[in-house]
Chains A and B, each alone.
Chain A
Amino acid sequence: AQTVTQSQPEMSVQEAETVTLSCTYDTSENNYYLFWYKQPPSRQMILVIRQEAYKQQNATENRFSVNFQKAAKSFSLKISDSQLGDTAMYFCAFMKHDTGNQFYFGTGTSLTVIP
């Protein structure tokens, strides 16, 4: 079974600063995908960034980037130049290449950006 661990239930960051959210996972699979999802207060869950395990290069999406360490099974999210709109619950997710593409989610990190 796959497990995803987010060890930081809550974090805060000053506006315009940089913050890193951690995520580790446990799997025996070699072919899989990792995701960070964002759930703003009372709003829909949306994808922030995706990483394919076979790619060594870390994914980036504007102010969001990941540090993917396959051997260490670590997948952290870095948010640069934090904005008030980044306040949300962030979920790390693992998906193995399989029928149904089942996701395994971490318990989430609640991030608050302080003005």
Chain B
Amino acid sequence: DVKVTQSSRYLVKRTGEKVFLECVQDMDHENMFWYRQDPGLGLRLIYFSYDVKMKEKGDIPEGYSVSREKKERFSLILESASTNQTSMYLCASSFIDSLYEQYFGPGTRLTVT
């Protein structure tokens, strides 16, 4: 079974803190994605990566950055957390072949106070 894991299920941080969300997949997927999920807005893509050290902006990249130093690991970084970044963050991965769907991690619920 494909496994996508995220470093924390719940996280509480203070405004201005630097926040790291980690995602690891064990299926040798080329593509990895970070979304945020908010009620009434669905899933919105923050960043994605189709190869090591490659990254592409999604629909809402402002206030976020990413790092992909190894194929299996994709990190989302909030340089200076703000209260409007309180959300559920979902990581996903997939093979580069478009026949394959994305596999999702369990999510990290981040609260910024």
Give the B-binding residues of A (Cβ under 8 A): 4, 6, 9, 33, 35, 37, 43-47, 50, 91, 95, 97-108
Contact present for A105 and B101 (CB under 8 Å): no
Contact present for B42 and A44 (CB under 8 Å): no
Give the A-binding residues of B (Cβ under 8 A): 31, 33, 35, 40-45, 48-50, 56, 58, 90, 92, 94, 96, 98-102, 104-107
Contact present for A101 and B104 (CB under 8 Å): no
The 8 closest A-B pairs by CB, nearest first: A45-B104, A107-B42, A105-B43, A100-B50, A97-B98, A105-B42, A47-B101, A44-B106
Contact present for B98 and A9 (CB under 8 Å): no
Q: Which residue of A lies closest to B32 (CB)?
A: A100
B42 neighbours in A (Cβ, 8 Å): 4, 6, 91, 105-108
Q: Which residue of A lies closest to B48 (CB)?
A: A100
Contact present for B102 and A100 (CB under 8 Å): no
Contact present for A107 and B102 (CB under 8 Å): no
Contact present for B104 and A100 (CB under 8 Å): no
A103 neighbours in B (Cβ, 8 Å): 33, 43, 45, 92, 102
